[in-house]
């Protein structure tokens, strides 16, 4: 058994048939995050920034410390550049809202065919508001961004908004190449880190991006919390996205002036417990040996890829090797719908998978399909999970194909 499971309460009561391979959708919460949540909700629960009593001060201090921990996890120059959101989706919508103020009519937002809808629809909406255009970096047959095509797409590009890691193919984006492209074109670089954040600490400064978003629930934290990081000058260049309490400086009936970032973008009571628990999850992540966890993930990914490519009637999508990718593997069984595969894998084999378009319909179009099955690993995954996946699929294939 994978010893790391001791850090995950979901495994305390799980029996041997619990094979959770839907980590790209939501991973399990780690024990420090759950304990931090219980501790806050039990002993410190009060609203932040308002109260003058000790409990409220404890809550306010814990929330401020959570922001520092999130900044540390991504190596942000300042915690004031960290906005707590409800997840990557709100983060990317906020990024699109902010950066639209830098867009002129006719300019281009460059996304990719690989994007999750969360990093596509907000840019379409921003483009519509500004009279700008959305263009896409194509995807190679093995499910990576085709960066050789970048030069053909340079005309009037103002924003490049792409995924750091694909939720369908597991491909990790070559950010350095995108950074050079942005340097040459003067474009701003936004990364959707929803699938990268679960793979250890990040360095937004080394990546050279201008904004970065991720969700807590995929990175061993609670649901309902996420992070948007942005360069302070960019955050300070835009009016607020949402209005309400705590984001203002002064309000009269006619007009309002606004607080500086990050508070300008955190209208209303923030997800206090979520932020505190996320910080505990990020601290847990920072305490792990990611070189060893990466090697373990590559080993299990290779076993999945080998097993699936040996399976009769199984079509794999995405990179066939284990370099520059994470343990997110998409495939289809010939003549069997992905939903049927997932249902039987759960009911008959205790394997939890995801089937569908994965909120990436343009990529499904690119692959000329409508749905794939996806198995996705986490640091607590082990050989038994992969065996259950491959044996179960073989049985499902024989039953249904
Ligand atoms: N981007 C990617 C690559 C994702 O995988 C997801 C979640 N599936 C999102 C964005 C959106 O994250 P959330 O639903 O947590 O806001």
pLDDT computed for residue 59 by the predictor: 97
* d(C-alpha 341, C-alpha 372), whole Å: 10
Tokens of 346: 């759960």
Which residues does ligand 1 sit against, CB inside 6 Å?
25, 87-89, 116, 118-119, 163, 167, 192, 194-195, 215, 359
157: part of which helix (H) or strand (E)? strand 157-163
Q: Relative to the CA of 165, which ligand 1 atom is closest?
A: 3
By most ligand atoms within 8 Å of CB, the mutation choice from 215, 218, 219, 220 for ligand 1 is 215
Residue 157 CA: distances (Å) to CA of 62, 118, 187, 246 = 41, 20, 6, 35
Q: How far is the CA of 167 from the centre of ligand 1 (A)?
A: 8
* Surface-to-core class of residue 161, CB atoms within 10 Å of its CB (0-12 exposed, 13-18 middle, 19+ buried): buried
Q: How far is the CA of 255 from the centre of ligand 1 (A)?
A: 35
Instruction: Name the E strands within 44-150.
Output: 82-85, 108-112, 133-137
Active site residues: 359
Nearest C-alpha to atom 14 of ligand 1 is from which residue?
Answer: 89
Torsion of CA 79, 85, 91, 93, to 10 degrees: -130
Domain 289-400 -> CATH class = alpha beta
pLDDT computed for residue 14 by the predictor: 72
* d(C-alpha 111, C-alpha 92), whole Å: 12
* d(C-alpha 133, C-alpha 152), whole Å: 15
- Please name which of 120, 115, 212, 121 lies closest in space to residue 167, comparing C-alpha atoms: 115
Q: Omega of the bond prior to 262 within 30 degrees of 0, cis?
A: yes
pLDDT computed for residue 16 by the predictor: 64
pLDDT computed for residue 99 by the predictor: 98
pLDDT computed for residue 255 by the predictor: 96
Nearest C-alpha to atom 4 of ligand 1 is from which residue?
Answer: 194
Residue 201 CA: distances (Å) to CA of 28, 349, 395 = 18, 34, 39
Q: How far is the CA of 194 from the centre of ligand 1 (A)?
A: 5
Q: How far is the CA of 356 from the centre of ligand 1 (A)?
A: 14
Q: How far is the CA of 215 from the centre of ligand 1 (A)?
A: 7
Distance of CA 164 to the CA centre of its chain: 9
Domains of the chain by residue range:
32-286, 289-400
Write out the chain's pLDDT in tens, 401 residues: 789 999 999 999 876 678 999 999 999 999 999 999 999 999 999 999 877 899 999 999 999 999 999 999 999 999 999 999 999 999 999 999 999 999 999 999 999 999 999 999 999 999 999 999 999 999 999 999 999 999 999 999 999 999 999 999 999 999 999 999 999 999 999 999 999 999 999 999 999 999 999 999 999 999 999 999 999 999 999 999 999 999 999 999 999 999 999 999 999 999 999 999 999 999 999 999 999 999 999 999 999 999 999 999 999 999 999 999 999 999 999 999 999 999 999 999 999 999 999 999 999 999 999 999 999 999 999 999 999 999 999 999 999 87
Q: Relative to the CA of 359, which ligand 1 atom is closest?
A: 8
213 contacts: CB under 8 Å, gap ≥ 6: 85, 88, 91, 92, 95, 190, 191, 192, 193, 194, 226, 227, 228, 229
| CATH architecture assigned to 32-286 | 3-Layer(aba) Sandwich (3.40)
112 contacts: CB under 8 Å, gap ≥ 6: 136, 137, 138, 139, 145, 162, 163
Largest CA distance in the chain: 69
């Amino acid at each position: 058994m994978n010893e790391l499971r001791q850090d995950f309460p979901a495994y305390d009561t799980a029996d041997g048939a619990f094979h959770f391979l839907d980590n790209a959708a939501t991973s399990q919460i780690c024990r420090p995050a759950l304990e931090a949540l219980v501790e806050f909700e039990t002993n410190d629960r009060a609203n932040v920034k308002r109260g003058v009593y000790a409990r409220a001060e404890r809550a306010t201090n814990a929330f401020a410390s959570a922001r520092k921990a999130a900044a540390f996890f991504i190596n942000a120059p300042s915690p004031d550049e960290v906005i707590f959101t409800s997840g990557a989706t709100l983060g990317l919508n906020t990024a699109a809202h902010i950066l639209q103020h830098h867009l002129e009519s006719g300019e281009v937002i460059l996304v990719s065919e690989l994007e999750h809808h969360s990093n596509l629809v907000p840019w379409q909406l921003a483009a519509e508001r500004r009279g700008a255009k959305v263009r896409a970096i194509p995807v190679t047959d093995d499910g990576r961004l085709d960066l050789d095509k970048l030069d053909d797409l340079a005309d009037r590009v103002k924003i490049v908004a792409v995924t750091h890691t694909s939720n369908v193919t597991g491909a990790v984006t070559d950010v350095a190449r995108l950074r050079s492209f942005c340097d040459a074109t003067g474009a701003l670089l936004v990364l959707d880190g929803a699938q990268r954040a679960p793979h250890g600490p990040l360095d937004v400064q080394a990546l050279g991006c201008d904004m970065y978003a991720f969700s807590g629930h995929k990175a061993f934290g609670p649901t309902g919390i996420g992070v948007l990081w942005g360069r302070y000058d960019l955050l300070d260049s835009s009016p607020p996205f949402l209005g309400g309490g705590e984001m203002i400086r002064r309000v009269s009936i006619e007009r309002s002036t606004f607080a500086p970032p990050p508070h300008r973008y955190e209208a209303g009571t923030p997800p206090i417990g979520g932020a505190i628990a996320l910080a505990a999850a990020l601290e847990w992540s920072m305490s792990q040996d990611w070189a060893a966890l990466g090697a373990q993930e590559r080993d299990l990914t290779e076993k999945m890829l080998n097993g699936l490519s040996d399976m009769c009637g199984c079509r794999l999508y995405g990179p066939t090797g284990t370099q520059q990718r994470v343990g997110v593997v998409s495939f289809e069984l010939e003549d069997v719908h992905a939903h049927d595969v997932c249902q039987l894998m759960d009911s008959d084999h205790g394997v939890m998978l995801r089937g569908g378009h994965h909120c990436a319909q343009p990529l499904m179009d690119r692959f000329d399909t409508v749905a794939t099955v996806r198995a996705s690993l986490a640091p607590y995954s082990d050989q038994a999970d992969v065996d259950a996946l491959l044996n179960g699929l073989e049985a499902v294939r024989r039953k249904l194909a």
